[in-house]
Amino acid sequence: MNVYGTKQIRNVVLLGHGGAGKTTLAEAMALITGAVSRMGKITDGNTISDYDKEEIKRQFSISTTLIPLEYQGEDGPIKINLLDTPGYFDFVGEVEEAISVADAAVIVVNCKAGIEVGTYKAWELCEKYKLPRIIFVTNMDDDHASYRELLLRLEKEFGRKIAPFHLPIRENEKFVGFVNVVKMAGRRFTVNSDYEECEIPEYSQKNLGIAREALMEAVAETSEEYMERYFSGDEFTQEEISSALREHVIEGNIVPVMLGSGINAQGAKMVLQGIDKYFPTPDRYECIGVDVSTGERFTAKYNDNVSLSARVFKTIVDPFIGKYSLMKICTGTLKPDSNIYNVNKDTEEKIGKIYLLRGKDVIEVPELKAGDIGAVSKLSVTQTGDTIALRSAPIVYHKPEISTPYTYMRYKPKTKGDDDKVSSALSKLTEEDWTLKAVTDTENHQSLLYGIGDQQLDVVVSKLLNRYKVEIELSKPKFAFRETIRKKVEVQGRYKKQSGGHGQFGDVKMTFEPSGDLETPYVFEETVFGGAVPKNYFPAVEKGVAECILRGPLAAYPVVGLKATLTDGSYHPVDSSEMAFKMAATLAFKKGFMEANPVLLEPIASLKVTVPDKFTGDVMGDLNRRRGRVLGMNSNHNGKQIIEADVPMSELFGYNTDLRSMTGGMGTYEYEFSRYEQAPGDVQKREVEERASKVDRTEA
């Protein structure tokens, strides 16, 4: 593939609901540009994008795939870096990585299915990142697809920005072509996206007039001169129309709507033309970061005539094709066989060859210029989010904003002794996917796997088996309860043992009471009078308490909020020892704790749920069923409400699936640990019964 300059590059992300037709459109565009000689099909498992075994098996995209295409544009050849993203929400991290390097987006909408949750989410992401966009309506070959109804819904949901550039032509209830509203011309498909001119059907004239008028108004709004000409009845030239529309599309004031049939490769050429005409080149934007040498904000235009800087936005770790770091060149030119400086890690690395990845195909290139996207293999320390620059000009660019995973399950290797293999395999998967986290919960002696949703965790289990030949089992995690007491008690602990020779003797009187501070496990004090217990045994008594609070007598959970006071006791001048007093304190603790009205404390999460207005009642009702306390509700001024509530952590298990079900996938949530609160009686009873075998009931 040729080397392309900044002004010849278009970085375009494909967005949309799962199953809308993004991968099929990518295949059609690859066919039209000659990147492939025949279109692959998702059902046949031979598409460029979905090459992973899991994607072929499940027949949907799991990872973002880069597909570089060469296209002969109006003003010469251009390179389109197409980023085909997953549509299912569990893989949103892949979408966020792709969007972080995209300069524009094509939102794919299935005409029959209409506006789906993924369409809204794609639109919201484009608004958040201020990405120019085109909507491509696919599946127009379906007899039950109503383009007119879809247009009305698009305008209702997304406002006057929606501008139909195409209207369909149907004959005998079959989709055969389209009307180009910008050029006021009919197009009849011949082979794939190729077409011949045709008459505009009579039935299209009314809708064409409305669409055309809206476009001309948009063109007029680009300047006062155009506005005057428009009102005086002047016609704009085709060049003036295209130029004005491009400005509006780039600014996000107009969102063109195009149409076609991905499976028949119809309309793909029009999308390519739209990308060439209406989408910006990378140099329209600035790279924003921090100059490490000064700590000041750094901005630069995409420019290949200055020193090198680039940011790694994705890592691929494949056991067959190896490790690749995908990066977008921000400034300068990346050349092979050179040293690069990783600013985040303060390390130099040697790079060999430079590649483009097209699906699983690796294409070597002589260099990459600013604004382009490519890959380098086998970097040892460089990870996703790192910045490559010169040591003399250390710039750090912002890392991609990736969603935080809140769904988690406990995992165990199926085969004993596979812990190291599982750990190694998971580290490779987490390097690829930032929304995946493997965490060791030492308190509950469990390993936890965090992800965006259950589907993602299911894919991880499958990948571990197929890629790395290790099996894990997922199960419900244990939750970190605590134990404390509710009243003050005074007890004696007496330890006496005689076994020939020196015996063991320790005797303590202690009070146990709530300390009032649940953040601190225990407070130890002594008020011994007259040397009843020698001072040198005080540390041993405290040690006995300190060891006991690790596993409480109620349900073997850690103890918090305890105040232990040594008040009295007795000793033997020969038989007393530190161990004897430690054991005496242990006896006192076990007896006193169970007499002091012991209770279980459960972890409480501070939860925020963001949902469209119409779902607030259902969500609040569900939170009440989960023993949650709704604290308030605020509008985010985008037709959504943010519900704040306190909910027991144990009740949030499975919440991701339930929330999606309640809100049709529109609801999102986040939470953080807040505090501990006393668990209800039925919860305490169940926990105590379940953990009875873990409690140390033996007398010391």
pLDDT digits (tens, 9 = 90+) for 109-140: 999 999 999 999 999 999 999 999 999 999 99
Closest Cα to residue 299, out of 259, 337, 330, 326?
330
Q: DSSP class of residue 390?
A: B
Say yes or no: 264 and 299 in one domain: no
User: Could you give the CA distance from residue 87 to residue 85 in angstroms, rounded to a whole number?
Assistant: 6
Say yes or no: 521 and 453 in one domain: no
Q: Is residue 211 part of a domain?
A: no
- How far apart, in Å, are the Cα atoms of 570 and each of 431, 509, 567? 60, 9, 11
Say yes or no: 379 and 490 in one domain: no
Portion of the chain with pLDDT greater than 90, in percent:
73
Mean pLDDT value of segment 675-687? 93
Say yes or no: 58 and 77 in one domain: yes
User: CATH no. for residue 578?
Assistant: 3.30.230.10
Judged against a pLDDT cut of 70, whether residue 500 lies above it is answered with: no
User: At 300, is the pLDDT very low, low, confident or very high (cuts 50, 70, 90)?
Assistant: confident
Residue 653: what are its φ and ψ, rounded to 5°?
A: -65, 125
pLDDT at 700: 39
- At 5, is the secondary structure helix, strand, or coil? coil
pLDDT at 204: 87
Mean pLDDT value of segment 241-251? 91
- How far apart, in Å, are the Cα atoms of 622 and each of 566, 645, 651, 654? 48, 12, 11, 12
User: Could you give the CA distance from residue 189 to residue 167 in angstroms, rounded to a whole number?
Assistant: 14
Sheet holding 296-301, edge to edge: 296-301, 286-291, 395-397
User: Could you give the CA distance from residue 666 to residue 89 in angstroms, rounded to a whole number?
Assistant: 10
Say yes or no: 512 and 550 in one domain: yes
Q: Is residue 68 part of a domain?
A: yes
pLDDT at 159: 86
Burial 456-484 (b: 16+ CB within 10 A, else e): bbbbbbebbeebbebebebeebbbbbbbb
Say yes or no: 492 and 515 in one domain: yes
Mean pLDDT value of segment 212-216? 86
Say yes or no: 32 and 157 in one domain: yes
- How far apart, in Å, are the Cα atoms of 383 and each of 313, 328, 344, 346, 399? 9, 14, 9, 13, 11
Q: Which of 127-136, 234-243, 674-683 has the lowest mean pLDDT?
A: 234-243
Mean pLDDT value of segment 479-490? 94
pLDDT at 97: 95
Say yes or no: 528 and 450 in one domain: no
User: pLDDT tens digits for 586-596?
Assistant: 999 999 999 99
Neighbours of 547 (CB within 10 A): 13
Q: Is residue 92 part of a domain?
A: yes
Domain boundary among 233, 266, 283: 283
Compute the CA torsion angle 207, 211, 217, 222 (nearest 10 deg): -170
Say yes or no: 294 and 375 in one domain: yes
Q: Is residue 205 part of a domain?
A: no
User: Could you give the CA distance from residue 539 to residue 145 in angstroms, rounded to a whole number?
Assistant: 80
User: CATH no. for residue 435?
Assistant: 3.30.70.870
User: Could you give the CA distance from residue 125 to residue 117 in angstroms, rounded to a whole number?
Assistant: 13
User: pLDDT tens digits for 44-103?
Assistant: 989 998 988 888 899 999 999 999 999 999 889 999 999 999 999 999 999 999 999 999
User: Could you give the CA distance from residue 405 to residue 644 in angstroms, rounded to a whole number?
Assistant: 19
- Please state the pTM of the whole predicted model: 0.89
Q: How many domains does the structure of the chain reveal? A: 5
Domain boundary among 363, 397, 431: 397
Q: How far is CA 164 from the centre of its chain?
A: 32
pLDDT at 638: 77
Whole-angstrom distance between the N-terminal and C-terminal Cα of the chain?
A: 77
Domain of 498 in residue numbering reads as 482-596
Q: Is residue 180 part of a domain?
A: no
CB 395, CB 298: distance < 8 Å = yes
User: At 501, is the pLDDT very low, low, confident or very high (cuts 50, 70, 90)?
Assistant: low
What does the block give as tokens for 79? 């390179």
Closest Cα to residue 660, out of 18, 207, 40, 175?
18
User: pLDDT tens digits for 168-210?
Assistant: 999 888 899 999 999 999 999 999 889 999 999 998 888 898 8
Say yes or no: 267 and 120 in one domain: yes
Say yes or no: 48 and 99 in one domain: yes
What secondary structure does DSSP assign to 195-240, as a single string? Answer: EEEEPPPGGGHHHHHHHHHHHHHHHHTT-HHHHHHHHTTPPPPHHH
Q: Is residue 197 part of a domain?
A: no
Q: DSSP class of residue 193?
A: T
Say yes or no: 583 and 470 in one domain: no
Closest Cα to residue 383, out of 67, 66, 87, 97?
97
User: pLDDT tens digits for 19-44?
Assistant: 999 999 999 999 999 999 899 899 99
CB 192, CB 24: distance < 8 Å = no
Q: Is residue 551 part of a domain?
A: yes
pLDDT mean across residues, the chain: 92
Name which residue leads in pLDDT, 692 or 513: 513
- How far apart, in Å, are the Cα atoms of 346 and each of 253, 300, 434, 514? 42, 22, 22, 50
Residues 6+ apart with CB under 8 A from 288: 297, 298, 299, 397, 398
User: Could you give the CA distance from residue 544 to residue 580 in angstroms, rounded to a whole number?
Assistant: 10
User: CATH no. for residue 309?
Assistant: 2.40.30.10
Judged against a pLDDT cut of 70, whether residue 517 lies above it is answered with: yes
pLDDT at 679: 94
Residues 6+ apart with CB under 8 A from 23: 42, 47, 49, 50, 61, 84
Mean pLDDT value of segment 631-637? 88
Domain boundary among 348, 376, 397: 397
User: CATH no. for residue 20?
Assistant: 3.40.50.300
Q: Is residue 232 part of a domain?
A: no
Judged against a pLDDT cut of 60, whether residue 698 lies above it is answered with: no
Closest Cα to residue 259, out of 270, 250, 249, 248?
270
Q: How far is CA 511 from the centre of its chain?
A: 51
Judged against a pLDDT cut of 60, whether residue 253 lies above it is answered with: yes
Judged against a pLDDT cut of 90, whether residue 220 lies above it is answered with: no
